Amino acid sequence: MTPADVRDRLIAALRTDLVGPALADEILNEIPTRWYLTGFLAPLNAKIGQRSDPEAEDEADVLEPASPAAEDNANPERVTARHSLFPASLGLSVLVSADTSHLTVQLDWGDYQRLTAPTAPNVPTEDDPTPPATETWQRHPRHPAPITLALPAQGHLSRHSQPVPDDPRLKLTYNVRALPTGIDDRLPPGARIVSIFLSNERGDAPTAERRDEHYVFQPAITVTSPVPFLPQPNLRGRNAHDDWDERVADLHYRDVHAYAVGHGVATEAVLDPEGPCFAVRTAWIPHAAVEFVAPSKMPTVELRMETLAALPDAAAAHTALQPLLTDYRAWIAHQYAQLPTLCAAQQPIGQELLNRATQAADRIAAGLNALQDAHVFTAFRLTNRVMARAARQRDAQQQIQRDPEWRPFQLAFLLLNLRGLSEPAHYDRSVVDLLFFPTGGGKTEAYLGLAAFTLILRRLRNPGIQSAGLTVLMRYTLRLLTLDQLGRAAALICALELEREADPATLYGILLYTASPDAEGTLGGLVKAGERIDDHLQAALEWGRLCSNDPVCAGHRPDDPYERRFLHGAACHGCLLIAETSCEQGNDFLDRTLVVPTVEHPHVAFFPDPP
Query: Is a pLDDT exceeding 60 seen at residue 170?
Result: yes
Q: Is the pLDDT of residue 154 over 90?
A: no
Q: For residue 21, which phi and psi values (nearest 5 degrees)?
A: -90, 160
Check: CB of residue 587 under 8 Å from CB of residue 580: yes
Specify whether the CB–CB gap between 599 and 546 falls below 8 A: yes
Looking at every residue in the chain, the average pLDDT score rounds to 83
- pLDDT higher than threshold 50 for residue 480: no
Task: Name the strand (E) or helix (H) holding 338.
Answer: helix 314-338
pLDDT at res. 59: 43
Q: Which residue has the higher pLDDT, 501 or 303?
A: 303
| For residues 46-51, average pLDDT | 91
What mean pLDDT do residues 377-394 have?
91
As a whole number of Å, the CA-based R_g of the chain is 34
CA distance 117 to 208: 13
> What does the pLDDT read at residue 73?
46
Give residue 229's pLDDT.
96
Contact between residue 251 and residue 349 where contact means Cβ atoms under 8 Å apart: yes
Q: 422-471 pLDDT, tens per residue? A: 998 999 988 888 888 776 778 888 988 999 999 889 888 888 777 777 77
Quick one: pLDDT band at residue 25, thresholds 50, 70, 90? Answer: very high
pTM comes to 0.69
87 closest CA partner among 128, 130, 121, 40? 40
The helix/strand/coil state of 183 is: coil
Domain ranges of the chain: 89-283, 305-467, 536-611
Q: Residue 121 CB: number of other CB atoms within 10 A? A: 7
Proportion of the chain above pLDDT 70, given as a percent? 81
Residue 5, Cβ density class (10 Å: 0-12 exposed, 13-18 middle, ≥19 buried): exposed
| 218: confidence class by pLDDT, cuts 50, 70, 90 | very high
Torsion of CA 176, 180, 183, 185, to 10 degrees: 90
* Cα–Cα distance for residue pair 153/138, rounded to 1 Å: 45
Alpha-carbon span 251 to 237, nearest angstrom: 8
Top mean pLDDT of 118-127, 342-351, 465-474, 540-549 is at 342-351
Residue 364 banded pLDDT, cuts 50, 70, 90? very high
Q: Which DSSP category does 242 fall into?
A: S
